[in-house]
Amino acid sequence: MAKFLGRKGKILLLLLLASGTLGFFGGKVSPEMKEVIKHFSNRAQLETVLQKYGEPGVVPKELTVCDMAKPVISKSEEKGGITYYTLESRVEKCEQSPAAVGTVRIFQMGWKNGKIVEFRWGGPKGGKVEY
C-alpha cells in the first residue's frame, strides 16, 4: 500500500494514525460532558442540558445565543479536583452578532462531581468579536 502512496499520502496516513492513537490513549471524557457535546448544535437542547449540569450562575447565557457547530475538545486537564475541558466551536448563525458568524469560539468548562462549576471564555480565534 505504501508503494501506491506518494510522500504527501504517507504523511497524511501517519498523521491520521497518530491522531487516532492519541485519541485512544488520551483522557476520558465524562458522560455528562459527552451529553453537552451531543446537544451542542441545538440551542434549545443545549440550554436544557446546561441547566441540568451547570451550577447556578456559572455558564453564561451568551453560550446559547448563537447557533454553534459541534465543539471539539482541544485539551483536558485536572487541577484541584476539577476536570477542565477546553473546547473550540464554530459560530454557524448569529442574529445577535452577524460579525460572529464563521469565527471559532474557544472556552473552558470545569467539571466537578458531574456539575459545571467553572466557565471561562477564551475568546475567538483570530480576533475580537462581541456578541
Which domains are delineated in the chain? Answer: 28-124 (3.10.450.50)
Record the pTM: 0.74
Res 62: pLDDT: 86
What digits encode the pLDDT tens for the residues 44-74? 999 999 999 999 999 998 889 999 998 999 9
Res 99: pLDDT: 87
Q: Which parts of the chain have pLDDT scores under 50?
A: 1-2, 12-26, 131
Res 50: pLDDT: 96
Can you read off the three cell numbers belonging to residue 38?
451531543
| Four-CA torsion 47, 53, 56, 57, nearest 10 degrees | -60
Res 25: pLDDT: 38
Res 3: pLDDT: 52
